[in-house]
Structure 1
Amino acid sequence: MSFRQTFDGIVNKSKAKLKEYTDQQSSSSHSNAPPPVPSWSKPPQAPQQPQWYHPTPPIPTETHPSYAAPQPQTQPQPYWQPNFDPSLPVSAHFIQETGAHGWGNNESQNYTTSPANSFFTPHNQLVIRAIVNTNTPNDKYTSARLNTHQKLSRTRGFLTATVRAPCATGIWPAFWLLPAEPFTWPNDGEVDLFESWNGDCVNHSCLHWGHFNGEDWNKHRVIETDVPSMPEREVQIGFAWMQEEDRDGAPGKMIWYLDGKVVMRGDIPAGTRRLSDWRVIINVAMGGNVCAGKLPADGSYDFVVMGLSMWDSPFGGWEHFERDWGSAREGKTM
């Protein structure tokens, strides 16, 4: 992907979000029978530290005597780890947003509460299923957009998830963060942990805040990570944050991880809402400006989420967080 394509995509997305949160949102619903379980679903795993995480070894004390010997780390504990039990409604863990109004980006999907579009599997996975049926008179494009009831809730912590994303023309899966409503966008901030546009097999890690004018042109940070095998495998998402105080605009640090590797870092921008008041959003959009106006072919497109958890510390502890901070790249400005 060229820089111009990336720049245009970020600009289009930013304009879309700005319009989305200034326009009046409509709502609708759609009901169908629950869809079958994806054939590649895996059996549930007991809560545990993800196996993909391999902390960077500490610097040896014999060659760097100024460093103290590493202390044993307390095993991180999850403070939120939802059970995607198929006997529960999706609404048990998520706010289900609805509407077919384009979401400020000329998107084509109608977000519904239908169990055809979002459901928990017998293997304790969340599935957001975007469905395209151009032979129907109405609701040719349906999907789901879910916000967690749970907020990040703490001044510091670690969010993890394993996802398997659809990669196709006209499809835009996203796993991201926004402050709890009511909020002002983009002033209060936005953090994008995983999103892939139009089947590009690229993960776009983003941070947005402030306004969109000549003075605030640089209030965006982005790193693109090529994931050519995205259609064939699961991707591991991680996000660690450390904020000094539980107040809006307090100083702090954020680190984005992908498949256990550091991909981006960013300071918590002044003026943004305190991170403890943010929620996770998971959705699949279709068409729109970000997908260059292209629409997906008839069929279904599953965005599967498993292992969604919030932890009291990163794996390896906060000392490892500081080492990662020292090696991480700042996102690029627009």
Structure 2
Amino acid sequence: MKCMNLYSLLLVVLIFVSCGSSNDASGMIAPTVNVSPTQVSATYEGVVTKLSITSDQEWTAFSGDACKEWVSCKTSGSIGTQGTVEVTVKANTSNQSREGEIIVKSGITRISIPVSQDAKPEEPVDPDIQVPEGYKLVWQDEFNNTSLSTPDESLWKYETGHGTDGWGNNEIQNYIAGSKDGVVCADVSNGTLKIIAQKVGDEVYSIRMNTRTNWKYGYFEARLKLPKGKGTWPAFWMLPDPFTSWPDGGEIDIMEEVGYDPNNVLSTIHCGAYNGSNGKQKGDGSYIATAQTDFHIYAAEWTEDYISFLVDGKEHFRYTNDKTGTATWPFFTNFNLKLNLAWGGNWGGAQGIDESALPATYEIDYVRVFQKNK
């Protein structure tokens, strides 16, 4: 009988505990939260909308990691039982749709509200633009926006100053952000960009500018007319973005030329195994008789297997991935494009400089980026 009574008592206790455990394993009661609407959809242009929240406890809301750069949340009434979340979805400037989530949290309750946004529609390609076979145009600057007299800073950013050790090359110029003290070194007019190296007092002002967008693999081209004069050193090239280290991070020089050796244009790559400073180099050049008087198209096709360099559509150098590792092939991360006009330096000033060549103008008709169709 005593055994039976003990058994009955234990059974009653178990039933009591079971009936009170509608909460989680820790014993905390999960608040009831309702959200309306249960998802957010936006066009590529972006949207500002509101979520209505009811909860029996204090709550909060925030963007998930996947969309925190383009979705923001502003809560109101979160310390009460009813409130709202103002959701702002920024415009999507890419040609790819994107997804994320808004998280509404109260106590141990966590609700995910899906967020989706359309891709920006692809703009019709100008029929005059020759698109490489198998590729599509993904980025361009034609420098023909008549409302701008300097480069579009939503597309480009400047690097300024003398750099460390003259940007690693003992260059003489002082790079400026478009203009300084009334001196303009980045001029957009008549459908082209002019990068102008100018003597100002004891200094030479010039321009070094990078695309704000970066890419892994693609077909990169620019139509360029090179400056004249001993001391000039124009370039159209690429570095990792974000930058890591040199030379191990890699460098892709689509076009370089120095004024003391006019019309000889070079294309090279730099990496841990081949970087010039170790006595080993990978690159080649072409003689373009009118490089300083006419426009020519300089391009690089970069794939996971090779980088091909072309002038006016003709390949003049190819570097192949030997599959031995990053010392010879660090070209598997995103790079951005760079345009600059250096003055002097280890290569540009190797045979001296002639200041009578200043001002010197490096003219860019367009820069275009293509990537393979998926």
How high is the TM-score relative to the length of structure 2? 0.56
Q: 2:344 aligns with which of 275, 287, 292?
A: 287
Q: 2:206 aligns with which of 121, 134, 143?
A: 143
Q: 1:162 aligns with which of 223, 244, 247?
A: 223
In structure 2, what is the Cα distance between the partners aligned to 1:300 and 1:49? 33
Higher strand share: 2
Partner of residue 99, structure 1: 161
Q: Letter of the aligned partner of 2:172 in structure 1? A: S
Q: 1:173 aligns with which of 220, 231, 234?
A: 234
- For the aligned residue pairs, the C-alpha RMSD in angstroms reads 2.9
Are the equivalent residues in 2 in contact too, given 1:179–1:189 (CA < 8 A)?
Answer: yes
Partner of residue 257, structure 1: 310
Distance apart, 1:312 and its partner CA? 2.6
Listed one character per residue, the Cα deviations across residues 255-300 of structure 1 (whole Å, up to 9, x for unaligned) are 1001111101112463144455101111011112212162232431
Partner of residue 195, structure 2: 128
Are the equivalent residues in 2 in contact too, given 1:128–1:143 (CA < 8 A)?
Answer: yes
SS of 2:194's equivalent in the other structure is strand
Change (3 A) 1:142 1:215: closer
Change (3 A) 1:212 1:239: closer
Partner of residue 178, structure 2: 114
How high is the TM-score relative to the length of structure 1? 0.63
Identity score, percent: 26
Distance apart, 1:309 and its partner CA? 0.8
In structure 2, what is the Cα distance between the partners aligned to 1:48 and 1:307? 15
SS of 2:292's equivalent in the other structure is helix
Distance apart, 1:214 and its partner CA? 12
Are the equivalent residues in 2 in contact too, given 1:163–1:305 (CA < 8 A)?
Answer: yes
Change (3 A) 1:186 1:215: closer
SS of 1:289's equivalent in the other structure is helix
SS of 1:192's equivalent in the other structure is strand
In structure 2, what is the Cα distance between the partners aligned to 1:87 and 1:273? 40
Which structure is larger by alpha-carbon Rg, 1 or 2?
A: 2
Distance apart, 1:199 and its partner CA? 3.4
Distance apart, 1:215 and its partner CA? 12
In structure 2, what is the Cα distance between the partners aligned to 1:50 and 1:186? 34
Partner of residue 204, structure 1: 266
Q: Larger relative contact order (C-alpha < 8 A, sep ≥ 6)?
A: 1
Unaligned 5+ segments in structure 2 are: 1-124
Partner of residue 78, structure 1: 137
- Deviates most, 101-110 or 221-230: 101-110
Q: Letter of the aligned partner of 1:203 in structure 2? A: V
Listed one character per residue, the Cα deviations across residues 223-280 of structure 1 (whole Å, up to 9, x for unaligned) are 021122222211111111222xxxxxxxx21110011111011124631444551011
In structure 1, what is the Cα distance between the partners aligned to 2:310 and 2:273? 26
Are the equivalent residues in 1 in contact too, given 2:248–2:271 (CA < 8 A)?
Answer: yes
Are the equivalent residues in 2 in contact too, given 1:240–1:256 (CA < 8 A)?
Answer: yes
Are the equivalent residues in 2 in contact too, given 1:167–1:231 (CA < 8 A)?
Answer: yes
Q: 2:292 aligns with which of 222, 228, 231?
A: 231
Provide the aligned length of Structure 1 versus Structure 2.
Answer: 234
